[in-house]
Amino acid sequence: MITDYERLAAMNKDHLWHPFTQMKDYNNSDPLIIERGEGIMLYDVQGRAYYDGFSSVWLNVHGHNVPELNQAITEQLGRVAHSTLLGMSNVPAIELAEKLVGVSPEGLNKVFYSDSGATGVEIAIKMAFQYWHNKGIRGKTKFITMNQAYHGDTVGAVSVGAIPLYHDVFRPMLFPSHVIPYPYSYRHDGGEAGALEDTLTALRHLLETRADEIAALIVEPIVQGASGIIVMPPGCLSQMANLCRKYGVLLIADEVATGFGRTGAMFACDLEDVSPDLMVIGKGLTGGYLPVAATLATDEVYEAFYADYQEQKTFFHGHSFTGNPLGCAVALASLKLMEERNMIEGVRAKASFVERKLAALKERPHVGEIRQKGLMIGIELVRDKISRETFDWAERIGVRTSLRARELGMLTRPLGNVIVFIPPLVSSEAELDAMTDILEESIIHVTEGGSVT
Ligand SMILES: *Cc1c(COP(=O)(O)O)cnc(C)c1O
């Protein structure tokens, strides 16, 4: 008699190919199979409960199986599940666009929908490219990105990506981008000031010499996510934005990870009063419920495409599920809940609670740095705290720590030697307390080979 779990695990092994996963390793382990969620807990088919300590890869806002969000979807489902935005419109897509313009940085007045962060980025870079073309300015065709940037996995998004492990194999098929240093203060000899200086100098130099070849700069504002939750020095983003403006280069803010309260502001750009020309949102947009993303543009960008049909300035781009009514309905409900629950303020209070709670962890011998902005936390583990020597990647210290956390009842996924803690914004202090306990205990267990006393 085989159990339900064994049956599913066998089919999973036979037929599923998982993202960002070496299947040979994965198939040698017992797969975790989630069956349901409630609040910030996920439950597997064997009935075990886990805290969702990484918001199901940085998406979840209000928890799982939320009555208000479920209801928004069911109500919309009773009307229509999907109809196209090609040449016609639908009710939730219109209402959400108006809402998004209201909550986003000044100047972003137009909303172009898609279905994932990567497609949203793809749209932003194509818009930036065609913007200059439509204005009759030739030659502004290149992009600037930052070292270790991650903007999604489609070919265009990978072309402005700069994580060698993910991107190098594809290099021959990509368009080349200029890469400037990202201010990684912890690993810069000059610390925060030196890192900031290097970034701004490189950007200024590039713009002084090549602005006439450059369409846009794309940046993960304030927090570079996939590279290891690396927080910019204060003032970096606003100074980069000023340089772009000065030299006539568009600024694309990729807020896919940072948007919707994660950093303690609605958008990370708000933290430095930056108004980008294009802004990409996804992940938390629907509360992490359904795949909807969007690219927001200024009137200035939009108007470069607004012309008589014969002028051929149309933006010829779209996806089958662009503006999906179910997704837009749940996004509206999610934004409503955020407002009703005063969530952004709540995030700031919860962030200081977590910061205080993790203070002791900083003293441990293998905790190199704890980086935090709002409820985005990355803990960089090192072999040697003084020299900042890294653990060898083959030791898989991050993976082992996350596995230990899972045994203790919390899910997360590391970024190399950086342990990620990005809890759902709805998490209570008691839940954050329990999750940070697990985090601490797993780090100490794996790096110090013992249990916390
Ligand atoms: C996750 C992410 C993306 C890609 O979003 P997908 O929905 O996975 O395609 C793009 N940019 C940033 C900053 C992200 O964190």
Digit-coded pLDDT (tens) for 327-368:
999 999 999 999 999 999 999 999 999 999 999 999 999 999
* pLDDT, tens only, 305-315: 999 999 999 99
Instruction: Specify the pLDDT at position 166.
Output: 83
Averaged pLDDT of the chain = 97
Domain count for the chain = 2
Binding-site annotation, residues: 117-118, 150, 254, 283, 318-320, 413
| 236, 196 contact by CB (below 8 A) | yes
Owner of token pair 């008691």: 430
Q: Report the nearest atom of ligand 1 relative to the CA of 117.
A: 5
Binding-site annotation, residues for substrate: 150, 283, 318, 413
Across 32-177, the runs of DSSP E, i.e. the strands, are 34-38, 41-44, 49-52, 108-114, 142-146
Whether 24 is covered by a domain: the verdict is: no
Is the CB–ligand 1 distance for residue 252 below 6 Å?
Answer: no
Of the three residues 294, 323, 340, the one that is the final residue of a domain is: 340
Q: Report the nearest atom of ligand 1 relative to the CA of 153.
A: 9
Instruction: Specify the pLDDT at position 167.
Output: 82
Same domain, residue pair 369 and 316: no
CATH classification of the domain holding 358 = 3.90.1150.10
Answer yes or no: is pLDDT of 453 > 70: no
Same domain, residue pair 322 and 387: no
Of the three residues 299, 318, 340, the one that is the final residue of a domain is: 340
- CA–centroid distance, residue 25 to ligand 1 (Å): 24
Q: Among candidates 306, 310, 298, which has minimal Cα distance to 128?
A: 298
Is the CB–ligand 1 distance for residue 220 below 6 Å?
Answer: yes
Q: Among candidates 332, 293, 313, 267, which has minimal Cα distance to 124?
A: 293
Q: List Cβ<8 Å contacts ≥24 apart for 105-108.
A: 105/267, 105/269, 105/270, 105/273, 105/274, 105/275, 105/276, 105/279, 106/275, 107/275, 107/298, 107/299, 108/275, 108/276, 108/279, 108/296, 108/297, 108/298
Same domain, residue pair 275 and 413: no
CATH classification of the domain holding 195 = 3.40.640.10
DSSP symbols for 243-260: HHHHHT-EEEEE-TTTTT
Whether 100 is covered by a domain: the verdict is: yes
* pLDDT, tens only, 236-251: 999 999 999 999 999 9
Please compute the mean of the pLDDT values over residues 364-388 and round it to a whole number: 97
Which pTM was predicted? 0.97
Same domain, residue pair 133 and 98: yes
Let me know how many helices (H) and strands (E) the chain has, helices first: 15, 17
Answer yes or no: is pLDDT of 433 > 70: yes
- Which range of residues forms the domain containing residue 76? 70-340
Can you tell me the distance from the alpha carbon of 281 to that of 294, in angstroms, rounded to the nearest whole number?
5
Same domain, residue pair 49 and 172: no
Instruction: Specify the pLDDT at position 451.
Output: 52
Q: Report the nearest atom of ligand 1 relative to the CA of 282.
A: 7
Is the CB–ligand 1 distance for residue 152 below 6 Å?
Answer: yes
| 115, 322 contact by CB (below 8 A) | yes
* pLDDT, tens only, 70-89: 999 999 999 999 999 999 99
Same domain, residue pair 49 and 188: no
Residue nearest to atom 11 of ligand 1 (CA): 151
Can you tell me the distance from the alpha carbon of 319 to that of 104, in angstroms, rounded to the nearest whole number?
23
Please compute the mean of the pLDDT values over residues 20-40 and round it to a whole number: 96
Same domain, residue pair 145 and 222: yes
Partners of 296 in the β-ladder = 111, 279
Same domain, residue pair 181 and 292: yes
Same domain, residue pair 173 and 245: yes
Is the CB–ligand 1 distance for residue 415 below 6 Å?
Answer: no
Same domain, residue pair 218 and 348: no
Q: Please state, as a whole number, how many other Cβ atoms lie within 10 Å of the Cβ of residue 249.
A: 26
Answer yes or no: is pLDDT of 4 > 90: yes
Same domain, residue pair 277 and 414: no
